[in-house]
Amino acid sequence: MMGSSKEIKHRLHKLETHLVNESPLLVDAVKGFRELDRIGYRLGLLGRDQSYATQIPWWPLISVLGTYSAGKSTFINSYINYPLQETGNQAVDDKFTVICYASGQESRSLPGVALDADPRFPFYQIADELEHVEPGDGARVNAYLQLKTCPSEKLRGYIFIDSPGFDADAQRTATLRITDYIIDLSDLVLVFFDARHPEAGTMRDTLEHLVASTIQRKDANKFIFVLNQIDTTAREDNPEEVVSSWHKALSQNGLTAGRFYTIYNAEAAVPIENASVRERFAAKCREDMQAIGDRITEVHVERVYRILGNLEKKVREIEQRTVPELQQRVRAWGRGVVWRDAFAFIVLLAIFAGTAVATGNSVNTLQPEGWVQTLWNFVNHGIWHQIGAVAIIFLILFVVHHWMRRLSLRAALRRLAEDDESVDREGIRRALIKNTRFIHSIFRPEVVGWRRSSRNRLRQILEEADEAMQRLNDKYTRPSGDATTS
């Protein structure tokens, strides 16, 4: 259940307090999200108990994806130096596991609803997304997700996600959707493959989903491709051939970015009798493991870029996609009301004419001169009769128009629910309901809350985010060659 408005404010205040010393630039980002929330409230895209800031993870997020038995869990256990995840040659876990630090001596496993209800973690309100993908799965969030806590110091300040073994041919739609969701949120994505099964060509669908989809991504450099258990090639001493085979498979699927590493777990490795071969393999593994560890350490910086980028993305999304879509749907609703009102008016006239004939009216109301005579008779009945009749007519028209507005709204909401291309289905649904309240005209040119001040504030938020991004760049780049610090 979503928190109240006070709870949202309290969470954002705690977040700002935590970030003051860690990253002042992210404090500015929180302020930007606060301003964006105010615009979302005015437009109706957000409820008062919601915030755009809670829709992204604020902690460095590292996801570990890959094929079955590729050694993902073994790698995590080795990196954090703690036997947290179950390991084995067969699939031992069919859930996405979110792993984070917790003080104490023991690890704990918590159900998926713990993630669905907590905005500090990825998968906040993921049940709604699962329900849309596959009706009924929203209530089965525990079947897809779990949260594990661990006292390893290597986890302090990070969130890891261990995925179930990936096989795109057999994967359910909901699992594929969660995988895409994870990739979008992550600061670093480790994609594991198993060197014991070098026939990469047989994994076309898996490679397509985990590799080919990265081609057009602006953040393609966050992908690391890991060929694990390379020790199995030691007897033939041909790791280069195996690596070349995988390189070829990945390039055929369009891989244009991301580093490629070869590693193995020394404790689970096959014995390598030849000392020189053993040392060559071990040296290469140490080198690549160190490189992976360095990339994980850099995630703290990349996290800042991700959050500032998310703020910019949300601003542009609201201005360039969400509001135009909302305007289009509001106008379509208004046109629907007009057509329904016209139809209802014709029906009412037909009923009136039929009633006049049925009650023995001698005037032929189907002819123009008949309507003139009926109007003359109405005027001659007296002022109070006229006022009462007009009031009844207006009341009938008011009720009918209100009913037509509701019918048109239902139709608009139904079309929205069926549209998978909608940029923000839930937000637009909420805003559409707000824009169709009876106090709002069906002929107004703009949606409720979309004023010049809102547009100007969006541009200001974008400018401030760009300035924060430039200050971040200045900490790590110096195109001019100037050695002074900013």
pLDDT digits (tens, 9 = 90+) for 82-99: 989 887 655 556 788 999
pLDDT value at residue 486 = 42
Give the residue, 259 or 304, on which the prediction is more confident.
304
Distance of CA 59 to the CA centre of its chain: 16
Q: 325 pLDDT exceeds 80? A: yes
Is there a single domain that holds both residue 194 and residue 76? yes
- Are residues 62 and 188 in contact, defined by beta-carbon separation less than 8 angstroms? yes
Domain's final residue, options 271, 290, 309: 271
User: In the chain, how many domains are there?
Assistant: 2
Buried b (16+ CB within 10 A) or exposed e, 15-24: bbeebeeebe
Q: Both 246 and 393 in a single domain?
A: no
Contact call for residues 84 and 76 (beta carbons, < 8 A): yes
| Whether 219 and 330 share a structural domain | no
Q: Give the three-class secondary structure for 393.
A: helix
Instruction: Decide if pLDDT at 451 tops 50.
Output: yes
Average pLDDT, the chain: 81
User: Which residues of 20-167 form beta strands (DSSP E)?
Assistant: 61-66, 96-101, 108-111, 145-150, 159-162
313 assigned to some structural domain: no
Same domain, 257 and 384: no
My answer on whether 71 and 216 are in the same domain is yes
Asked, for residue 309, whether it belongs to a domain, the answer is no
Q: Are 30 and 23 in contact, with CB atoms under 8 Å apart?
A: no
Global pTM? 0.72
360: left (phi over 0), alpha (psi -120 to 50) or beta: left
Residue 481 lies in a domain: no
pLDDT at 459: 95
- C-alpha dist (Å) from residue 365 to 51, 368, 386, 390: 60, 7, 19, 19
The answer to whether residues 372 and 227 belong to one domain is no
Local structure of residue 164 (DSSP, 8 states): P
Helix axes 323-358, 425-435, angle to 10 degrees: 40
DSSP bridge partners of 110: 147
Q: So what's the pLDDT on residue 363?
A: 46
Helix (H, G, I), strand (E, B) or coil at 228: strand
- Give the Cα separation of 431 and 454 in Å (integer): 15
Q: Which two tokens stand for residue 227?
A: 């060929």
Which residues in 373-486 belong to E strands, given as ranges?
none
Which residue is listed with tokens 């900013």? 486
Tell me how far apart the 2 most distant CA atoms of the chain are, in Å. Answer: 117
- Taking each helix axis from N to C end, the angle separating 425-435 and 24-43, rounded to the nearest 10 degrees, works out to 40
d(CA 139, CA 122): 18
Secondary structure (DSSP) of 286-316: HHHHHHHHHHHHHHHHHHHHHHHHHHHHHHH
Count of all residues that appear for the chain in the document: 486
3-state SS string for 203-214 = HHHHHHHHCHHH
Q: Do 249 and 396 fall within a single domain?
A: no
Tens digits of residue pLDDT in 414-444: 999 888 788 888 999 999 999 999 888 888 8
Give the number of other CB atoms < 10 A from CB of residue 482.
Answer: 8
Same domain, 94 and 221: yes
DSSP code, position 73: H
Within-domain flag for 253: yes
Angstrom distance (rounded) from CA 436 to CA 391: 25
pLDDT of residue 2: 45
243 assigned to some structural domain: yes
Assess whether 227 and 331 both reside in one domain: no
- Summarize the confidence of residues 103-107 as an average pLDDT: 82
Place of tokens 């601003």: 315
Instruction: Give the distance from CA 312 to its chain's centroid.
Output: 15
Residues 330 and 267 in one domain: no
Check whether residue 198 and residue 335 sit in a common domain: no
- Residues 347-385 have pLDDT tens digits of 878 877 776 566 555 444 445 555 555 555 555 555 555
Last residue of a domain, one of 230, 250, 271: 271
Q: Which of 109-123, 227-241, 244-258, 396-410 has the lowest mean pLDDT?
A: 244-258
To which residue do tokens 């909608």 refer? 422
In a domain, 298, yes or no: no
Q: 67 versus 479: which is more confidently predicted?
A: 67
**What integer pLDDT is reported at residue 237 of this predicted model?**
64
Tell me if 283 is assigned to some domain: no
Whether residue 82 lies inside any domain: the answer is yes
In a 10 Å sphere around its CB, with 0-12 CB exposed, 13-18 middle and 19+ buried, how is residue 64 labelled? buried
Range of the domain at 414: 325-448
- Cβ neighbours for 232, distance < 8 A, ≥ 6 positions apart: 195, 196, 264, 270
The conformation of residue 269, written as its DSSP 8-state character, comes to P
Interval 8-30: pLDDT, tens = 888 888 888 878 877 888 888 99
Distance CA 105, CA 408 (A): 59
Q: How far apart are CA 381 and CA 385, in angstroms?
A: 6
The tokens describing 320, both together, are 């360039």
Q: Write the CATH number for 84.
A: 3.40.50.300
Q: Are 259 and 247 in contact (CB under 8 A)?
A: no
Same domain, 243 and 358: no
The pLDDT value given to residue 265: 85
Query: Which among 271, 288, 316 is the end of a domain?
Result: 271
3-state helix, strand, coil in the chain (%, to 5): 60, 10, 30
